[in-house]
C-alpha cells in the first residue's frame, strides 16, 4: 500500500452492498466469505478501494443500518476473523477498505437503548437518546413535536405504548427500530470515538458516515414551521439538518483519523446542496462529501452544467475536490432513471464514463459496472422498511449481482444450487452477468476497465491531476463539456442529434464514433487537447 495521505483526492471506490454481492455460505444472503472470494474481480476493475455498507450485528430491519453492536460482525455475514482476512487480502491487492459508520441512530436492540428503556423516566441512561415527554392531548398524549420520519409517519414513538406510568417518547428520524442518539450528551461523542478507534486500530482505511449532516438536533427540539413533508431525506427539516454544532464532531474525528499512519479517511453522506455540503470538507473536517446534488440529477445537460459549476465553486471556496456518484443502494439505478429501453442503457453507460473523467473522487455502486437496471421486485418480496411505511421501495437497486449465466445458484451469486436469494433475481439476469460481459469486448464492464487504466496513465503523465478544477458549459443545448486542466475534457451528448466535438483527440468513447468529429446522442467522449 502506498503511503500517500492524499490518495483519496482522486480515488475511485467501489461500493459493496455485502448482502447482495456474493453469497459464500449458500444461505441466500451475501457475506464476507463471498466478498473475499470475489476481491480479485474488484481489483481487476482498476479501482482504488471498496466501501462496505454495514455488516455489524443488527436485527436487519433496515438491512444493517440498524446497528446493535458497532464493533462486531453479524453472524449472517461471518466472523471478525473473516473480516481480518478480508482486510489483509484487500490490502494485498492494493485496495483500500472503507467501512460504514451509522452515528445518527442505532438499533432499538442496542444495549444502551435497552438500558435507557429499562432505567425509566428521569434516568441518566435516557439522556443518551432523545427521549421526551409528549404533549397532553384530550384522548391520548401527542408526540413532543411535529417532525416526520424519512420512512413515513411521525418521527416519534412511545417507549412503552401500553404503560400508564412511562409515557415518554423517543425520536427516530428513520424507522421506530432506529432510535436517534442524543449528540448533545458528551457521552455519545466519547462512545463513537471508541468505535472509530476500534476499526482504525484493526487497519481499516476510512469510514463513510451515514446521515452525517443530521446528528445534532436544534436545541429544545422545536416544531418545523411551514411545510412539514419529508422530501428527499431530511433536507426539508431545518431543525435536524445541517445544525452548526455537527461540525465539531467531524473536527474531532479528523484529529482521530490524522493520528494514524497512514492517516485514515472520512467520507460523509452529506445530503445537502453543494455550498453547504462542501463546508463539511473544510481542511480540518472530513476529506470527502458525496456530491448528492449531482447524484440526484436526471439526463439533462443544463442541470449537469449548473450543478457542476456549483460544485466547482464550492471546491474553490473550501479546498476539497468533489466526490462524484450517480448510484448507491438508496437511488434508482441510472439505466432506469436516465431513460427507458436502449436509451437508458446508453445513457447509464455514458454517465459512468463521464463520472470517471471528472475531477475529484468517484464512487461506483456494485452492478453499475454491469449496467444493471432497477428491478421491479415483486411486492410480496420487498424488504425495505421504507416500502411498508411510505410506499417507496429501494429494493430494486439491491438485487443480488449476477456473476454467471447459471440460473440454479442465482446466476453465481450463491455458492450452492437451489437456494432462494434474499431478493429474487429476474430471469434475464444471466445475460447481464460478469461472465457474459467478460466475453464481450464492447461491454460496459470492459469499458470501465479501459477507462480506469487510462485514468491512471493520464494521472501519471500529469495530463490530469487531483488539483484540477472543472469548467462546465453547454453548447447548442445538447453538448455538455467539463474541461479540466488545459489538456483534457469530458464531452457528453445529451440531446437527440449528433453534436460536433471540440477539437482534439478522442481517447475513449462510450459508443462508437461512426462519423469523425461527431458525438452520437447519449454518448460520452474523453478528449485530449494538444
Ligand atoms: O440514508 C439516509 C437517507 O436520508 C436516505 O434514507 C434517503 O433519504 C432515502 O434513501 C431516500 O432515497 C442512509 C442509508 O444510506 C440508508 O440505506 C438508510 O436507510 C438510512 O441512512 C438510515 O440509516
Q: Give the pLDDT confidence score for residue 3 in this predicted structure.
A: 61
Distance CA 316, CA 386 (A): 37
Residue 461 burial by CB count (10 A; 0-12/13-18/19+): exposed, middle or buried? exposed
Residue 26 pLDDT exceeds 80: yes
Under 8 Å CB-to-CB from 81, ≥6 apart: which residues? none
**How far from each other are the two terminal CA atoms of the chain, in whole angstroms?**
34
Residue-wise DSSP of 116-184: HHHH-TT-GGGGGB-EEE-B--SSS-B-SS-PBPTTSSBSEEES-TT-SS--EEEE-SS-TTSPBB-TT
Mean pLDDT of 289-304: 96
Q: Identify the weakest region by mean pLDDT among 12-16, 146-150, 184-188.
A: 146-150
Q: Taking 90 as the threshold, does the pLDDT of residue 158 lie above it?
A: yes
Say what percent of the chain tops pLDDT 90.
92
What integer pLDDT is reported at residue 141 of this predicted model?
A: 84
Atom of ligand 1 nearest to the CA of 62: 19
pLDDT, tens only, 297-325: 999 999 999 999 999 999 999 989 999 99
pLDDT digits (tens, 9 = 90+) for 382-392: 999 999 989 99
The answer, yes or no, to whether residue 427 has pLDDT greater than 60, is: yes
C-alpha cell at 98: 472503507
pLDDT, mean of residues 51-77:
98
pLDDT in the model for residue 230: 61
Q: Which residue has 491487492 as its cell numbers?
A: 93
Half-sphere exposure of 496 (CA within 13 A, CB side): 0
Ligand 1: nearest atom to the Cα of 105: 23
Instruction: Choose the residue to mutate in 15, 155, 174 for probing ligand 1, maximizing ligand atoms within 8 Å of C-beta.
Output: 174
pLDDT at 137: 75
Among all chains, which residue has been given the C-alpha cell 416500502?
387
pLDDT > 70: what percent of the chain? Answer: 98
**What is the value of pTM for the model shown?**
0.97
C-alpha closest to that of 170 among 134, 210, 220: 134
Q: What is the pLDDT of residues 81-109, one digit of tens each?
A: 999 999 999 999 999 999 999 999 999 99
Q: What digits encode the pLDDT tens for the residues 368-382?
A: 999 999 999 999 999
Can you give the pLDDT at residue 105? 98
Instruction: List the beta strands (DSSP E) in 372-487.
Output: 471-475, 479-484
Residue nearest to atom 3 of ligand 1 (CA): 233
Q: Given CA atoms 424, 428, 431, 435 in this order, what sign does their dihedral have?
A: positive
User: Among 94, 72, 85, which residue's Cα sits nearest to residue 14?
Assistant: 94
Mean pLDDT lowest for which of 65-79, 153-167, 421-435?
A: 153-167
Give me the mean pLDDT over the 45-70 stretch. 98
pLDDT attached to residue 239? 94
Mutate which of 19, 65, 175 for ligand 1 pocket (most atoms within 8 A of beta carbon): 65
Question: Is 285 strand, coil or helix?
Answer: coil
Q: Residue 266: which H helix or E strand, with range? A: strand 265-268
What string of DSSP letters covers 315-359?
HHHH-PPPEEES--TTSPPHHHHS-SHHHHHHHHHHHHHHHHHSS
Query: Rounded to an integer, what distance in angstroms lies between the CA atom of residue 144 and that of residue 132?
Result: 7
Residue among 253, 221, 263 at smallest CA distance from 238: 221
- Nearest residue (CA) to ligand 1, atom 20: 65
Residue 460 confidence (pLDDT) above 70: yes
pLDDT of residue 5: 87
Residue 227's pLDDT is 67
Per the annotation, the verdict on 210 as an active-site residue is yes
Number of H helices, E strands in the chain: 13, 18
235 or 340, which is more confident: 340
Helix (H) or strand (E) holding 444: helix 444-460
Using DSSP, state whether 60 is helix, strand or coil.
Answer: coil
Ligand 1 residue neighbourhood (C-beta within 6 Å)? 62, 65, 102, 150, 174, 210-211, 233-234, 269, 271, 329-330, 394
CA-to-CA distance for 239 and 218, rounded, in angstroms?
Answer: 5
- 395 pLDDT band, cuts 50/70/90, is very high
Q: What is the mean pLDDT of residues 61-75?
A: 98
Q: What is the reported pLDDT for 236?
A: 77
pLDDT (0 to 100) of residue 232 = 55
Strand, helix or coil at 490?
strand
Q: Are 154 and 231 in contact (CB under 8 A)?
A: no
- Please tell me the distance from the alpha carbon of residue 173 to that of residue 130, in angstroms, as a whole number: 11
- Per-residue pLDDT at 292: 95
Instruction: Measure Cα distances from 437 to 50, 85, 195, 369 in Å.
Output: 21, 29, 40, 10
- The protein residue whose alpha carbon is closest to atom 15 in ligand 1 is 330
- Residues 226-283 have pLDDT tens digits of 766 665 557 678 999 999 999 999 999 999 999 999 999 999 999 999 999 999 999 9
Catalytic site residue from 210, 327, 384, 395: 210
- Determine whether 496 is an active site residue: no
Long-range pairs, 279-283, Cβ under 8 A, ≥24: 279/247, 279/318, 280/212, 280/213, 280/247, 280/250, 281/318, 281/319, 281/320, 282/247, 282/318, 282/319, 282/320, 283/319
Note whether 361 and 321 are within 8 A (CB): yes
Amino acid at each position: 500500500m502506498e503511503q500517500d495521505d492524499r490518495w483519496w483526492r482522486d480515488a475511485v471506490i467501489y461500493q459493496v452492498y455485502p448482502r447482495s454481492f456474493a453469497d459464500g455460505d449458500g444461505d441466500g444472503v451475501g457475506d464476507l466469505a463471498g466478498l473475499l472470494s470475489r476481491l480479485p474481480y474488484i481489483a481487476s476493475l482498476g479501482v482504488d478501494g471498496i466501501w462496505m455498507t454495514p455488516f455489524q450485528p443488527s436485527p436487519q430491519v433496515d438491512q444493517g443500518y440498524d446497528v446493535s453492536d458497532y464493533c462486531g460482525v453479524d453472524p449472517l455475514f461471518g466472523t471478525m476473523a473473516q473480516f481480518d482476512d478480508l482486510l489483509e487480502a484487500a490490502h494485498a491487492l492494493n485496495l483500500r477498505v472503507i467501512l460504514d459508520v451509522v452515528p445518527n441512530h442505532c438499533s432499538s436492540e442496542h444495549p444502551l437503548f435497552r438500558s435507557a428503556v429499562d432505567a425509566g423516566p428521569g434516568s441518566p441512561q435516557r439522556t443518551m437518546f432523545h427521549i421526551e415527554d409528549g404533549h397532553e392531548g384530550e384522548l391520548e398524549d401527542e408526540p413532543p413535536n411535529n417532525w416526520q420520519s424519512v420512512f413515513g409517519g411521525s418521527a416519534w414513538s412511545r417507549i412503552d405504548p401500553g404503560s400508564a406510568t412511562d409515557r415518554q417518547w423517543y425520536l427516530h428520524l428513520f424507522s421506530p427500530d432506529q432510535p436517534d442518539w442524543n449528540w448533545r450528551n458528551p457521552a455519545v461523542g466519547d462512545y463513537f470515538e471508541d468505535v472509530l478507534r476500534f476499526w482504525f486500530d484493526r487497519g481499516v482505511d476510512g469510514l463513510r458516515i451515514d446521515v452525517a449532516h443530521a446528528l445534532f438536533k436544534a436545541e429544545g427540539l422545536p416544531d418545523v414551521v411551514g411545510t412539514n413533508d419529508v422530501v428527499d431525506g431530511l433536507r426539508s427539516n431545518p431543525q435536524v439538518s445541517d445544525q452548526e454544532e455537527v461540525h465539531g464532531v467531524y473536527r474531532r474525528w479528523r484529529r482521530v483519523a490524522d493520528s494514524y499512519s497512514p492517516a485514515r479517511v472520512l467520507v460523509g453522506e452529506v445530503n445537502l446542496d453543494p455550498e453547504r455540503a462542501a463546508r463539511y470538507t473544510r481542511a480540518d473536517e472530513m476529506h470527502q462529501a458525496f456530491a448528492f446534488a449531482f447524484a440526484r440529477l436526471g439526463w439533462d445537460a443544463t442541470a449537469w452544467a449548473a450543478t457542476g459549476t456549483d460544485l466547482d465553486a464550492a471546491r474553490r471556496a473550501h479546498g476539497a475536490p468533489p466526490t462524484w456518484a450517480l448510484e448507491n443502494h438508496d437511488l434508482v439505478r441510472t439505466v432506469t432513471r436516465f431513460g427507458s429501453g436502449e436509451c437508458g442503457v446508453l445513457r447509464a453507460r455514458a454517465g459512468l464514463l463521464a463520472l470517471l473523467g471528472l475531477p475529484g473522487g468517484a464512487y461506483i455502486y456494485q452492478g453499475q459496472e454491469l449496467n444493471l437496471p432497477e428491478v421491479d421486485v415483486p411486492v410480496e418480496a420487498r424488504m425495505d422498511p421504507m416500502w411498508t411505511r411510505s410506499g417507496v421501495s429501494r429494493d430494486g437497486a439491491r438485487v443480488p449481482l449476477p456473476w454467471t449465466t447459471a440460473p440454479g445458484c442465482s446466476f453465481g451469486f450463491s455458492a450452492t444450487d437451489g437456494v432462494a436469494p434474499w431478493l429474487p433475481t429476474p430471469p434475464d439476469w444471466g445475460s447481464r452477468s460478469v461472465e457474459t460481459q467478460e466475453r464481450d469486448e464492447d461491454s460496459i464492464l470492459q469499458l470501465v476497465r479501459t477507462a480506469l487504466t487510462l485514468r491512471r496513465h493520464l494521472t501519471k503523465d500529469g495530463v490530469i491531476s487531483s488539483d484540477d478544477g472543472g469548467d462546465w458549459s453547454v453548447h447548442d443545448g445538447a453538448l455538455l463539456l467539463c474541461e479540466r486542466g488545459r489538456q483534457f475534457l469530458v464531452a457528453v451528448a445529451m440531446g437527440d442529434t449528433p453534436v460536433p466535438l471540440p477539437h482534439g483527440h478522442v481517447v475513449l468513447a462510450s459508443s462508437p464514433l461512426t462519423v469523425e468529429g461527431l458525438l452520437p446522442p447519449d454518448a460520452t467522449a474523453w478528449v485530449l487537447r494538444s
